[in-house]
Amino acid sequence: MMDTMRTMRRRAIHDACSSLISPAPYKSTIAKSVPIDAGHASLLRAEKVTHAPISNVAISGVLWPEDAAKLYELAYFCRDDILELGTKFGLSTVILAEANRAGGYASTVYTVDIVPKYTAAAKRNAESAGIANVVAETSDAAAWLDNGISANRRFGLAFVDHAHDYENVKAIAERLDTLLLPGSYVIFHDFLDRRNDDPADTDYGVWQGAADGLADDFTFIGIYGCAGLFARS
Ligand SMILES: C[S@@+](CC[C@H](N)C(=O)[O-])C[C@H]1O[C@@H](n2cnc3c(N)ncnc32)[C@H](O)[C@@H]1O
C-alpha cells in the first residue's frame, strides 16, 4: 500500500517535470486573491528577482519571479517557524522573513549554510533590510537538522536549496518527517531542471531525492518557477 502511494507520487512528479519548461507559471496555493499585497506584486512583476520585496534592498543572487512569489505566499501565511537550507547571500531568506512579517506573524526564519562567509553576508543583508526575525547559522544541513530533531524543533515551512544531488536531498527529505508540522509545506528549488534527468550528472537528483525521501503523507502540489512544492497532511 505504502509502496503504491509512493510510486503514484513519483509518477505524478515525473509527469509534471516532463511536461513543464522552467520557469513554470505561478499559481496560488493558499492565497484567495493575487497579488497578496505590494511586496508580492513587486516579485510577480520583476523580470528576475534580485531585490527584497518590501525593503527593496539589493541582495546578490537571482530567483525566478514564480519561485520568489511562491516563497512569499507560503511565508506570508506561515504561523510557525520557517526553515531554509542553503542561505548564500540571503536573498530567499529575506523574502521569507519580509513576507512572514507582512502576513502579521513573528515567526523565526532559521537559515543554514555550510560556508561561514555566506552566513555572515546574509546576516548583514537581513540587517540592511531591517529584518530581525532571521537566525543564520553555519553548518552542514543534515547535521543541523539532526541537532534540531534532538532539540525538538518544529517548522511550518521548509525551503530546500543547498546541495542538489540525490543523496543530499533525500537525506534532508527523510528528516523532514520529524521536523515539519501537520499542515506544513516544503518546497525544493531546482526541482524542475533538466540536469535532474541526466543519469550522467551525479550533481543533480532533486526531484528524485524528494520523491524517495519524503514520507507518504507529503502530497505533491505542483511546480512554480523551478521549485517543487509538497504539503503535509
Ligand atoms: C543555490 S545557493 C542558495 C541560494 C539562496 N537560497 C538564495 O536563493 O539566495 C546554495 C547554498 O547552499 C550551500 N550548501 C551547499 N551544500 C551544503 C550543505 N551540505 N549544507 C548546508 N549548506 C550547503 C552553499 O554554500 C550555497 O551557499
Domain ranges of the chain: 2-232
Q: Is 86 in the pocket of ligand 1 (CB under 6 A)?
A: yes
Question: How far is 77 from 86, CA to CA, in rounded Å?
Answer: 22
pLDDT computed for residue 10 by the predictor? 95
Average of per-residue pLDDT across 205-220: 97
Average of per-residue pLDDT across 39-59: 97
Q: Are strands 109-113 and 134-138 parallel, antiparallel or unpaired?
A: parallel
> What's the 1 CA to ligand 1 centre distance in angstroms?
36
Query: Does 1 have pLDDT greater than 70?
Result: no
CA angle 32, 50, 196 (to 5 degrees): 80
Query: Could you give the count of Cα atoms lying within 13 Å of 199 in the half-sphere of its Cβ?
Result: 0
Using alpha carbons, list the distances in angstroms from residue 163 to 40, 190, 191, 206: 27, 10, 12, 9
Closest CA to 176 of 217, 139, 214, 138: 214
Question: How far is 128 from 54, CA to CA, in rounded Å?
Answer: 12
- Is pTM beyond 0.85? Reply is yes
> What's the 142 CA to ligand 1 centre distance in angstroms?
12
CATH number for 2-232 (one of 3.40.50.150, 1.10.8.60, 3.40.50.1370, 3.40.640.10): it is 3.40.50.150
Q: Is 9 in the pocket of ligand 1 (CB under 6 A)?
A: no
Q: Provide the grid cell at 192.
A: 524542475
Q: H or E element: which one contains 151?
A: none
Pocket probe mutation, ligand 1, options 67, 72, 113, 164, max atoms within 8 Å of Cβ: 113
> What's the 164 CA to ligand 1 centre distance in angstroms?
9
> What's the 124 CA to ligand 1 centre distance in angstroms?
17
**How many residues are recorded in the chain?**
233
Q: Provide the grid cell at 134.
A: 532571521
**Residue with grid cell 521548509, as numbered in its chain:** 158
Query: Does 3 have pLDDT greater than 90?
Result: no
